[in-house]
Structure 1
Amino acid sequence: MATRPQQPPLDRWFSSERTLGVAASVLVVAVTLTTWATAWSDWYSYQTVVRYGDDHDQLAEAAIVSGLLGIVAGVVLFASAAVFIVWLWRVRWNAEMFCRGEHRFTRGWVLGSWICPVVNLWYPKQVVDDIVAASDPRTPPRTESLRDVPGTRLVWVWWITWVVGLVTGNIVQRGVLGGATEAHDLRTNVILSTISAIFTTAAAVLAVQLIARIDELQTNRPWVPWWAAGERESGFQPPAR
């Protein structure tokens, strides 16, 4: 799946993705807020069952609140994911121009790594690792392979917290305990929901830091394509942006 980028057409140049990164960061924070709102609705449903038992009106009200918050959370998550992946796609393009090194996956995997089952537990991290490595000014422009560049602690911690939040929130809570009505099942549900919210919040904070870090790396690295890096002192002039 490794790919060595070919020389891009010169009508496409480096571009600052700071504005798109800020938009992605804002939406990531919004996801955190909706995650906590969903956790609250799970606690509310649990407390309703404990206090009111078979009161159908109270249970129906709790179900409506939970359903509405679930819809809002889903919309915000979709918007956040769309903007984040577009941002990731565009910083990947910059990274390919900064450095010749082979990325572990073709550019299509910038999207595919998130939606393919099972491999979405580690492929996105490797995509981001290669973007960070290629964007780092310390990485030589003609580096042959990016997989040999050591990963960063920020990416590792961000990805671990994201996966824990994903597993507890989506696979365990929604898949196994979705539709639970008994108090003891709902109690397990809300505990997992709270754990998911905690880890999702940590992942969101780290994602915002990661977005800022990649922007910083790409801003500080000279905007000279890898194939022209040796020509900078010989009169090479980049095309107008």
Structure 2
Amino acid sequence: MLPSGTPHSARGLLAAVSVAVGIVALSDLFAVFAGARITMLIDEDQGFAVAPQRRLDAAYSLYESAGDFQSVVYLPCAIVFVVWFFWTRRNTGLLAPDRFSKGPGWAIGAWLIPLVNLWLPYRIAVDMWGAATPLPTDGEPYRASIWPVNLWWGLFVSSTLFRRYAASRYESAEALTEIRAAVTQYMAADVLSAAAAVAAVYFAVRLTSMYWRKATASSPYSR
């Protein structure tokens, strides 16, 4: 069954997800740039500032602003992505309801439960990918590789956990060498986060495209 309004909804939600996640990626890269300024102002070997305190304070201010910007853009992006995730779960469930062991509501709830949100959304994504897999042709089943799901989720979880670790190190840092190390770890987490954002867009585009092709092919109104 092809839900009414699907073409418009699919294009609109996918565009919104792509733009929102792209903004998150840009905020991550901005944070990397701001972090690089701090690390360059702290001598790597001796652990002291090699620039006037005024420049160091400005670098810290820019870095804190970059972190604030990340926090501001992350929430609306997460909401848009979860809305798309739920929409896709609901509609792929119409194509292959036997693929899912949990109801569509879990496409939202799975993100809200601590620890569970490190695994269950991935399982739902894998099920959606399987449900959107094209129908067999000439008696031969079509198997779509799930590497886009694995890549996105691996980068997402890695960046999330590494960011938490870097945050704890940054908050407890006192000496300049400790601050430099924590900022460097934060930069690595931001790079992973930007990569996860790119992978998320690719995953969303591939899954939406697979769903649309299968939904159109199985629709009695398709040509």
TM bucket (normalised to shorter chain) is 0.7 to 0.9
* Shift in alpha-carbon separation, 1:40–1:203, aligned structure 2, 3 A: same
C-alpha deviations, 1:130-164, integer Å up to 9, x for none? 1111122237xxxxxxxxx9971111121111111
Gaps of 5+ in 1: 1-7, 140-148
Alpha-carbon distance in structure 1 between the residues aligned to 2:66 and 2:192: 19
- Matched with 1:180 is 173
Equivalent residue for 1:167, pick from 161, 166, 171: 161
Residue 222 (structure 1) aligned with residue 215 (structure 2): yes
Identity in percent: 23
Match of 1:157 in 2: 151
Residue from 133, 137, 160 that aligns with 1:136:
133
What residue in structure 1 maps to residue 93 of structure 2? 96
The aligned counterpart of 2:22 is: 29
The aligned residue for residue 212 of structure 1 is 205
Corresponding residue SS for 1:136: coil
Identify if the C-alpha distance between structure 1 residues 74 and 224 changes in structure 2 by more than 3 Å, giving closer, same or farther: same
TM-score by length of 1: 0.75
Aligned partner letter, 1:126 = R
TM-score (norm 2): 0.80
AA paired with 2:199? L
Given residue 157 of structure 1, which amino acid in structure 2 is its aligned partner?
Answer: L
Deviation at 1:102, TM superposition (A): 4.5
Choose which of 73, 76, 79 in structure 1 pairs with 2:73.
Answer: 76
Go from structure 1 to structure 2 and tell me whether the alpha carbon gap of 1:137 and 1:14 turns closer, same or farther (over 3 Å shift).
Answer: farther
Contact 1:135 1:218 in 2 (8 A): yes
> Does structure 1 retain, via aligned residues, the 8 Å contact 2:39–2:184?
no
Partner SS for 2:135: coil
| 1:150-208 deviation per Cα after TM superposition (whole angstroms, max 9, x unaligned) | 97111112111111111112x10113332523222122212212221232232222211
Which is further off, 195-204 or 71-80?
195-204
Unaligned 5+ segments in structure 2 are 43-47, 137-142
Count residues with an aligned counterpart. Answer: 210
Distance of 1:175 and 1:61 partners within structure 2: 23
Out of 3, 6, 12, the residue aligned to residue 15 of structure 1 is 6
**Retained in 2: the 8 A contact 1:98–1:224?**
no
* Structure 2 partner of 1:145: none
RMSD: 3.0
What amino acid is aligned across from residue 130 of structure 2 in structure 1? A
Is this contact kept in 1: 2:28–2:191, CA < 8 A? Answer: no
* Equivalent pair of 1:177/1:189 in contact (CA under 8 Å): yes
In structure 1, give the amino acid aligned to 2:104. R
Deviation at 1:64, TM superposition (A): 2.5
- Cα distance change on mapping 1:179 and 1:31 into 2, 3 Å: farther
Worse overlay, 150-159 or 72-81:
150-159
Q: Structure 1 residues 174, 166: closer, same or farther in 2, change over 3 A?
A: same
Question: 1:52 Cα deviation (Å)?
Answer: 5.6
